Chains A and B, each alone.
Chain A
Amino acid sequence: MQPIERKLLNAVQRDFPLEKRPFAVIAKRHHITEKRCIEMLRRLTAQGILREIRPVISWNRVGFTGILIGLAVAPDRVDEVAAAINGIPGVTHNYLREGRLNLWCTLTCENDADGQRSLTFMRSLDGVADVKEFASEKTYKIGLVLDV
């Protein structure tokens, strides 16, 4: 990555301008043209470095609940279990990790019944020995900003 690309990535992670032409504002701060700024961000997106620029919504403020779920899955079944979990609507993150609970996913659902149904489904999958729900009791940081 070029230094200017790093600077742009750091810039768009914070203080995105609420202006009709926000990329012109960012471009001016970095002494490049609006066109070049947009082109670079498009290229960083195409390369998969920048996922997207978006409003990050607090879904819990409009009636949804997010939960973290940790599963203990037999190593030879983990790909199949992960694929089945990805088929549940509202599963946004799903990671294989080191540890006794080795598959971790986040589920956003509209009501408790939907959440419990999804947990029951996970418990029924072949190779799953344990499913634990980790409700968030207090949030200390939701940052998402990383200097590249």
Chain B
Amino acid sequence: MSDTPKEITRGHMAVFQDPLPLVEKPFAAYAKKLGITEDETIELLRHYLSTGVIRRLAGVLKHDRAGFVVNAMVAMVIPPGECDAAGAVLAEFPFITHCYRRTAYPDWPYTMYAMVHAKSRREFDGDIERIRSSVAPQEMAVLRSVKEYRKTAFRMG
């Protein structure tokens, strides 16, 4: 299937941005809003999953309530030419959920960012040590989460 025009895709995402209801036939809610059958709705989801417009259809946990009580953004200075190799190594760690290369500044020189989630301080310290020994960043800042003011999924207005 070819890519759907952007305006049509946006109309579909306005419906798919809602969470799936926890009922026997959860896709019926989307189908009703889209004015199509449940089978067609499932096909449409399959299409967007295959094109990557929808990354995943999945349960999203609340980290701290699910037992991940120590969370941090780890910023690292990795030389530009070594970022891809380091990124590949970091992506393999199960305790890292997100990893990006980002813009650096003279007074904030970090180029690599990894989100780390651990069930205890002890486990967390071990995770940080594994990052340090595997990618050997020139500098590393461990920015532990202190307070969550907001965590939500984006919604179109």
Contacts and interface: CB of A to CB of B under 8 A. Distances in A.
Interface string A1-41: 00000000100111010111111100000000010001001
Interface string A47-89: 1111111111111011110101010000000000011011001
Interface string B55-78: 111111111011110001100000
A80 to B, nearest CB: 11
Interface residues of B, number: 75
A144 B143 CA distance: 19
Interface residues of A, number: 74
B104 to A, nearest CB: 9
A20 B143 CA distance: 43
Interface of A: 9, 12-14, 16, 18-24, 34, 38, 41-42, 45, 47-59, 61-64, 66, 68, 70, 82-83, 85-86, 89-101, 104-105, 108, 132-148
Contacts of A47: 65
Classify the interface of chain A: helix, strand, loop or mixed: mixed
Contacts of B82: none
Contacts, number: 233
Interface in B10-39: 10, 13, 16-20, 22-27, 38-39
A133 B48 CA distance: 30
B131 interface: no
Contacts of A104: 73, 143
Nearest to B119: A148
Interface string B73-92: 10000000001100110110
A57 B10 CA distance: 11
Nearest to B93: A141
B122 interface: no
Contacts of A140: 87-88, 90-91, 99-101
